[in-house]
Amino acid sequence: MRQVNRRLLELAFDYPFLMHASLAVALTYDRYLNGSPDCRRTLEECYHWSQSTVLLNRRLREPIETKDKDPIWGTAAALAILSFSSPDACTPEQAWPLKPSESSDLDWLRMIDGKMSLWYMVNPLRSDSLFRVMAATFAQMNSPLPEGGIDGIPSALAAVCGLKDSSTAETNPYFHAAHTVSQILDLPDGGVTTGHTQLFTRSIHGPFKDLLRKRDPIALLLLYIWYRKASRSIWWIELRARVECPSICMYLRLYHKENHAVQAFLPGGALADRWN
């Protein structure tokens, strides 16, 4: 990854949209490292983020040459990180899902989808791409999931999701999300990679995505479990998890306290030691 970042820095001097994106991510990471009590994005972060977005959108309306593909993919990845790491809230009470519904809820999913929509155009696995060294990460992101059953899913999680040996993605909307979450649960925190975490975010589509938007308790629980694990190793996930993870917990306790199966996974519950 250091090799990729070094080369992107060199390219940034020729591609202003990449330079602005790189500066915005650097400023966000600096805020994370300093543990700043001010959770809001700084003016400098907002400026470079905005400039990068405007310049990239303008560039995408022009013909794309091979030499442009890596800077475009690097910028798209940076913008996705910025979107995820910058919740519009400083406290759990202000964060989704506790806050009132807005059209911008789960906007970070749109940015991830937007980045992946560029995949076939830029092909970061092509032979001359600097991102080719990340082939193992991309393979992890796209690794196939089981077609049916509950092998690998802890029994308590399978039960709360209503999953059985006969379950498939067509018969149960939690199927893929439960499988992807389960893949990282027993990994050491230091062994959880971006590829592992993005396997889960790519499972957020169709009926499961609709359930998340509706604040379904099981869908929220799966996101909560993923946050708890992924945020320990990926800094930009931690920045959002700081407010959304406790917000989910508070929401479930406030509106679904009668759902004892869900409550068992939360801090203080019967299964808390395994899932927190």
Q: Where are the alpha helices (DSSP H) in 162-234?
A: 175-185, 194-201, 206-213, 217-230
Report residue 270's pLDDT band, with 50, 70 and 90 as the boundaries.
confident
Domain end point (choices 22, 52, 86): 86
37-51, 102-116, 162-176, 179-193: which is most confident = 162-176
User: What was the pLDDT predicted at 129?
Assistant: 96
Task: Tell whether 187 and 136 lie within a shared domain.
Answer: yes
pLDDT at 274 over 80: no
Task: Tell whether 148 and 249 lie within a shared domain.
Answer: yes
Mean pLDDT of the chain: 93
Domain end point (choices 51, 86, 121): 86
Pair of tokens at residue 265: 């996974």
Give the mean model confidence (pLDDT) for residues 147-155. 96
Residue numbers of the domain that contains 121: 91-276
Give the mean model confidence (pLDDT) for residues 76-86. 94
CB–CB of 152/179 below 8 Å?
Answer: yes
Report residue 58's pLDDT band, with 50, 70 and 90 as the boundaries.
very high
Task: Tell whether 59 and 173 lie within a shared domain.
Answer: no
CB–CB of 81/236 below 8 Å?
Answer: yes
Task: Tell whether 205 and 261 lie within a shared domain.
Answer: yes
What is the per-residue burial (b if ≥16 Cβ within 10 Å, else e) of 216-228? Answer: bbbbbbbbbbbbb
User: What was the pLDDT predicted at 109?
Assistant: 87
User: What was the pLDDT predicted at 38?
Assistant: 61
Short-list 109, 111, 135, CA closest to 124: 135
Task: Tell whether 80 and 96 lie within a shared domain.
Answer: no
Give the mean model confidence (pLDDT) for residues 32-45. 81
Position 3: which residue type?
Q
Q: Residue 197: CA atoms inside 13 Å, Cβ hemisphere, count?
A: 23
User: What was the pLDDT predicted at 276?
Assistant: 62
Task: Tell whether 66 and 95 lie within a shared domain.
Answer: no
Pair of tokens at residue 178: 């439960």
Contacts of 129 (CB under 8 A, 6+ apart): 69, 70, 73, 122, 123
Task: Tell whether 235 and 163 lie within a shared domain.
Answer: yes
Task: Tell whether 168 and 113 lie within a shared domain.
Answer: yes
Task: Tell whether 110 and 62 lie within a shared domain.
Answer: no
Report residue 102's pLDDT band, with 50, 70 and 90 as the boundaries.
confident
pLDDT, one tens digit per residue, over 169-211 is: 999 999 999 999 999 998 998 889 898 899 999 999 999 999 9
Domain end point (choices 54, 86, 118): 86
Task: Tell whether 46 and 148 lie within a shared domain.
Answer: no
User: What was the pLDDT predicted at 263?
Assistant: 96
